Every structure is written in C-alpha cells, then in structure tokens.
Chain A
C-alpha cells in the first residue's frame, strides 16, 4: 500500500518517539516506586484497592500494564509468608511467580502458599480506565491508539491530566486527534470550569459519530444546567450530519446485499432467464462452489500454507470447473429429456438438489465448515461517518466484474452468439449448422459454473453448510423474475434495487418483516408486470 519512502519516514518517526519516551518514562518512574503500592493490594479491601489503582495509574509507569492486566484477569497473588504481590501463572501443581513491575521470574510457589487477590467488576472498570491512561504513553503507536480508544469507551476524570501530558507529547496526527477526543469526553465528568466544558462539547461535536451522541446524552444529566443548551445543539448538529451518513451507510449495505443477490442470481439468469430451465438445483451449485473453496483451502493449509492468501484466486477456476462439470452432467443426464416441460424440469431438478445436498452431507457432515478469510479480505476502513469492510467491498467489485464478463461473453464471443441464436430460434439455428444440443449443454454448464464462482464469494460471508443453497434459491428466483426473464441488465437492476429496498425497510420494520414485505411487494409487482422490470417484447414472450 504505502510506498517505501513514506514508510521509512514513519519508521524514523517511530524511532524518534521511542527515544523521547525513553527519556520521558523514567522521569515518571523516579517520582514514586510502584512496588509498595502494589504490595499494599494484598491487604486492601475493594475501596482501598480502587484508590491504589488510581495512584498506580497516576505514576504513568507503562511497566505496570501487565500487572494491572493480570489483576483484572484474577491472576494476581500475594505470598502468605511476606505479603509480596506477584503475577501467578499455573505451572503444574505450582504457580510460577512473576515480578509485577519488572516482569522477571521470581521462582515458583505451591498453590497453598499464595492467595489470590479478590477482584470484582467495578474494580475491573477502574483497572480498564487506569490501563487506558498508562498505555497512552507507550512508545508503540498502535498501543497508544488503542489506549485512546479505551479511554473513549470508559472515560473518567482521573485520566485527564495524563491525557493532557500525552497530548502534549504526541506527534502522530491521528493518535493525537483520538486523544483529544478522549480528553474532551473525560473532561465532561471532571470538575473543570464551564468554559472548558463548553469547548469540550464543541470538540466532541466536531468529531461527530453515533458514539458522540451517546456520550453527550450520558453526560448531559450530570452537567451544569447552563450547558444544557450547548449539549442539545451539539446533539442536534451531530444527528443531522449523521442522518446523511446513515442514508449513505444504508445504501452501501443495500448495494452490498444486492451484490450478493446478484452473485446468487446471475447464474440463474442464464439457466432460467436465457434457457428457460427452472433449475431448482441452482442453490446447490452455489453450495458446491463454496465447498470447492473449502477443499482448496484445506489442501493449501496442508501443503502450502504460504499460498493461503491466494486460496480464493485458486478456488475460482476450481469451483467453476467442478460446478460446470456437474451442471453439464445434469443437463445431459436429466434436463435434456424435459425441454418444453418446465414444470417437470422443476421437479426433476429439485430431486437433483436433494441428492447433491445429501451427498455433501454424507461426505463433509451436516455441520458448518470453516472457510478462512485471506488477509486482504479482512478488516475495514472508514469513509466519513460510515465504515466499509473489505470483504463486502471485494464482493461488490467481484460480482460486478462477473456481470461484465458474462455480458461480454454473451455479446461478443461466438459461443454467446450461438447461445442467443439457439434461444431466439432453435430450429433456424439448427438449420444454420449450430449443434443445438451442445450449445444447450454448455450454456447450462456456464450458468452452473457461474453459480459455483458465486459460491466462492459467498463462502466468505455465509456459513458453508449443505443448506447454503437453500437459503438463496427463492431470493435468486425473485431477482430474476423481478428483473425480467432473459435480460441480464434486468437481473443487475433487480438485484441492486431489491437489496437497497430490503436494507431501507430493515431499520423501521425489522429484518424479517422487511423481507416479508419485499416478498409481498414482488408478488404484487408480478401481478402488475408479469414479465418483470425489463420485459422481452414481441414473439419471444410467447415462446
């Protein structure tokens, strides 16, 4: 991603920061030795422990982080003989003791020689905010960012001074911005002046986001009444900005769902839309594609783990060939005897789908299989007020590119020409020397193969189980019928509009009711336009 030169600049910056902190950290540590405070924990009750943790946090000594962490996990013990506190790790029947400050091993102790220091949830909360404060000074940029986030999540006035120190030392712009946000949030619950609080509210308002509304709402009760108007104005302003982003986010989710529908339906647009075959086994082709991905990943894990990031790229042709071959066999073995009898085709292919499902269930078992995400598909990035996950991003790009590729095959290749000729006028095409049975077989194989490719993509976002296909079959038919049979563009528009419609209904009526409403709307729509959005006109309609 980053070119080499800026990366090097970052590196040297990081080095610089490390140097700065190696000077800064001792200056804190020298003020007080934390060891007696930690040892005091052994005799403290919960209230005292809370105070001690506050004092520990005030030292700003980043070395204390493991100890606090161990405390909140319940791994902090004191030795009964001398009341010294250690981090304990179970080692056989003994505990391995680790010095809480230096992290050096302090030998082992029998289980009955040490006592666990008690912890409760309110203490854990205190520890979390204390750790947030401590790690703010860590030399590692990632840790500081996380720490700022942690303070944002559980703000407390005690962190304020530490935050201000950290901000004054911070050089990284993003981290600094996050810290200032955290400071503003923490400031609201402190006893600073009203003007400072007003400035903090303005800061929070500028950062915006859904969390900011929650923070302001939470804080408004305890704030000075004179600030109430400011808080309300800030909330209103954030909300109005947020509303636009929410619409954007909904559109994005809708497009993302639409691309999934498009993926599932696009193979059907060929077998059903172009050939007129009611292929109820279409969903199982998607499922076979997903299982091909699983098998390819297993092989790669066992034989060449280094290639794992390429597993999807390898799985694509594999899935295409496997499902294409299965589709070819189904067409030659079953469907070709049933042309002209669509309802019978429906039943026979349903039978095929049952057999395929049971075969997969017998081989791989009925449970979900784990299909891994390659590194380039995980994670997310923010765009303004919305987050976009990489896997959704890739799936949208992927489904659109499949759509384009299919369009090119249909319109530009000689196979596509034959295919269209056979659908438009079978006998004429046959008279012109086109081997119509082979065109049928390969068209069906193409449709199935594309369903298989869709399975590769869907394996990334859905559970890979023998029932995977079942969940897509009705949706796919809806998309094709809604978009208009025999028209690829109709499928594209149908999929995207159903996806967006679904996501816009969801927040107001809930996911399930939204889906029901969409189904009802489609049923009503078909009454109005029985041939879908983009209907074929002319003689082809009656064929």
Chain B
C-alpha cells in the first residue's frame, strides 16, 4: 500500500525534479571538494552555502504550497515553523559547543552565563543528543501547528481571518523570542556554533554534507507532498480548497483534513529551518518577523502555487535575485520585490510553472475547449469565490 502511495507520487515532472535536485546535491559538493580552487569548474564554499540556503528556502516554499496551493490556507506564519525548527537545531549546536564558549562553562551556553543563570532551563535538557534534537525539529513546529490548527479549523476561522491570526502568531513569537528571559538568547539568538555530530560546522566537508542533506530532504519532501496530493486524500484536499462547504456536506471532516495538512506542512518547514541554521551559522528572532513569512508567500506565488515544483523554482529565483540586487543595487531591491508582488498577482496569477503548464495544456486541447476555458475564466470561478 505504501509503495503504491509513493509510486503514484512519481509522475514524470516530479521524477525529473527529484533527479535534478539529487544531481545538484551530489555535483555541487563534488565540484567543491574534488576540484582544485583555481579550476574553472570549482565551486567556492560560500557559493555552495548560499545555494544550500536557497534549497532550505525552497523546502519552506514547498511546505507553504502544500497548505496554500492545495488546501487554500494562506498561512502568513510559516516563518514561525521554520524558525522553531531552526531553534531546535540551534539548541543542539549550542550544547555541542561545551566548554569552548567565551566563558568556558561546560553546560551553560554563553548567553546564560552572561545572564547569570545557574542551571540549564528544563526545556534545554536532551538537546545535547542529536536524535532528540531532530525529533524536536519535527515535534515543536508540528505541535504548534496542531494546537493552532485544532482551534482555528474547528471554529471555522478561514480565509483572510486565518491569514491575519497566523501573522499575529508569528508576531507574538517574535516578541517572545526577543525577551532575554525566554532562555533562547534574546535578540542575539543562537550563534558561534562549533560542531555538528563531531564535525566542525566550518569545514568544507561538513558543508558539503549539509548541502547534500538539504537537496535530499527537499527531494524526499517533494515526493511526500506529491504522494499526498496525488492520493485520494489529495483530491479531497483540492475539494476543500475549491468548495469547502460542499466537501463538508459530502460528509468529510474538513477540519481534520486541514489540520493534517497544516501539521505536515509545519513539520516540513521545521526541517527546512533545521537545515538552514548550520549552513548560515546563526538563528535569531528576526526569522519570526511577519515580513519574512509574507516573502515566502511571494516565492510560492512567483513559482506557481499548487504546482509543487513551482515554489522550489520561485524560491531559488527570488532569492537569487535578492542576493544579486542587495549586492549590486541595494536601493532597488525593495522596489523590485514590491513590483514583483504586484506584477505576479496582477499579470501572473498562476505563477511561472502554472502559466507554462496552463499554456501547455491549452495547446493540446481542442480550440473549442480552449474557448470554454476562456469563458470560465471571465466568470469568477468557484475557487476564487471560495477564497
């Protein structure tokens, strides 16, 4: 049954995408490690880390696409799940520093010594154990999503209201994590990492493995998302997006469907955050900023929501653009990003991948069918009304 579930996921596009991702995941670290630094095909470590960061963002965008593109829940708080996953990883990395910190305390991280704390807070226990930390990467965002979704979906908070309260959620977490007595390093966050599983975080080899892990996790999550979307459950999911009341009247428990998807998506975002932190070397409350979460939405929208592959492309393109612009013309970046938001919503509502797919399909279809499609577009569709 499980093989059937996975097998269905492996439709042509997804196979191609996974193939490309894994190829990148192997090739880039190989070119970084095996070629000499002066070779033409050598990839410098900073470029590999940068691209590894993009892959994490792509995973975050994929997670958002699952809830937004297929379930119609526009979460403006996915950055919170990402950051929580990141903090779980960060706590593991902090514990690995041991007595090499500035204050040399074998148990307490530097910021706790600085705050004059005498012992480790209860929620820091266990994070010196990698497996536990990795479980927490999934559990903490998943639990938050579960509690939040349990209340929200049960009382049928949806559409814009849901978006606004998810934003309030991440904003509240932002304020909370800025507090020093929360025990997460206040506004400096967690940084100065040394080791992961005994390997130095700075070493090229570790970075190469982290890069490969990012590509691998992205591929796995892509397959999982595709499997969910293509299963029978996925059809109901799309039904919830397009006509929630109708699905409810057909006897489905809409709130449970939404809750499941939301939790899975939050866990994916947590994984993305956990891979992000060792590659970037810091996690601070800034990741909770509502603006970050909204930016994730634009990556997804640019690539094409409801396409799974689109968000990956969108995240990489937009972040590549951001790196380029903020380096070359820092003044222009916000203009460009703002214009991107407006243009995509006005002129490219399906996103890049969605538009290509759409064009591809209509060329194949009969002319009459294309006419009918056009006629349907002129009317506000059910999907749009349901939003």
- A binding-site residues for B, Cβ under 8 Å: 278, 280, 334, 337-338, 340-348, 350-355, 357-359, 361-362, 470, 474, 477-478, 481, 512-513, 515-516, 519-520, 522-524, 526-528, 530
- A513 to B301 alpha-carbon distance, docked (Å): 34
A-side contacts of B179, CB under 8 Å: 512-513
- Do B152 and A347 touch (CB < 8 A)? no
Q: Is the interface of B mostly helix, strand, loop or mixed?
A: helix
| A343-B159, A347-B345, A528-B155 known; A512-B384 Cβ under 8 A | no
Q: How far is the CB of B198 from chain A (nearest CB, A)?
A: 38
Q: How far is the CB of B78 from chain A (nearest CB, A)?
A: 14
Across chains A and B, which 9 residue pairs bring their CB atoms closest together, nearest first? A351-B341, A354-B338, A355-B338, A358-B334, A519-B172, A351-B338, A351-B342, A348-B345, A527-B151
Answer yes or no: B366 CB below 8 A from chain A CBs.
Answer: no
Sample of 15 A–B contacts (CB below 8 Å): A280-B294, A334-B342, A342-B159, A342-B387, A348-B341, A348-B342, A355-B335, A355-B338, A477-B167, A478-B164, A519-B171, A519-B172, A519-B175, A527-B154, A528-B155
- A481 to B166 alpha-carbon distance, docked (Å): 13
Closest to A343 in B: B74
Closest to A339 in B: B380
Contact of A530 among B156, B171, B291, B345 (CB under 8 A): B156
Beyond contacts A347-B297, A354-B337, A526-B161: 18 other A-B pairs, Cβ-Cβ < 8 A, are A278-B163, A344-B349, A347-B298, A350-B294, A350-B341, A352-B341, A354-B341, A355-B342, A358-B331, A358-B334, A361-B334, A477-B164, A478-B164, A481-B165, A513-B179, A519-B175, A523-B148, A523-B151
- Do B165 and A526 touch (CB < 8 A)? yes
Closest to B152 in A: A527
Closest to B380 in A: A340
- B binding-site residues for A, Cβ under 8 Å: 74, 148, 151-152, 154-157, 159-161, 163-165, 167-169, 171-172, 175-176, 178-179, 290-291, 294, 297-298, 301, 331, 334-335, 337-342, 344-346, 349, 380, 384-385, 387
- Do A526 and B157 touch (CB < 8 A)? yes
Q: How far is the CB of B228 from chain A (nearest CB, A)?
A: 22
Closest to A334 in B: B342
- Do A351 and B160 touch (CB < 8 A)? no
- Do B339 and A351 touch (CB < 8 A)? yes
A-side contacts of B387, CB under 8 Å: 341-343
- A345 to B159 alpha-carbon distance, docked (Å): 12
A-side contacts of B294, CB under 8 Å: 280, 347, 350
Closest to A523 in B: B165
Counting chain A CB atoms within 10 Å of each CB, the highest count among B164, B346, B384 belongs to B164
Q: How far is the CB of B301 from chain A (nearest CB, A)?
A: 6
- Do A346 and B163 touch (CB < 8 A)? yes
Contact of A474 among B152, B168, B298, B344 (CB under 8 A): B168
- A26 to B138 alpha-carbon distance, docked (Å): 85
A-side contacts of B290, CB under 8 Å: 474
| A352-B342, A513-B179, A522-B168 known; A343-B163 Cβ under 8 A | yes
- A478 to B74 alpha-carbon distance, docked (Å): 17
Closest to A355 in B: B338
- A343 to B151 alpha-carbon distance, docked (Å): 22
- A526 to B301 alpha-carbon distance, docked (Å): 27
Q: How far is the CB of B292 from chain A (nearest CB, A)?
A: 12
- A147 to B164 alpha-carbon distance, docked (Å): 55
Closest to A346 in B: B163
Contact of A342 among B160, B165, B331, B335 (CB under 8 A): B160
Q: How far is the CB of A185 from chain B (nearest CB, A)?
A: 37
Counting chain B CB atoms within 10 Å of each CB, the highest count among A338, A362, A481, A526 belongs to A526
Contact of B175 among A337, A477, A516, A528 (CB under 8 A): A516
Q: How far is the CB of A479 from chain B (nearest CB, A)?
A: 11
- Do B345 and A338 touch (CB < 8 A)? yes
Closest to B342 in A: A351
- A481 to B157 alpha-carbon distance, docked (Å): 12
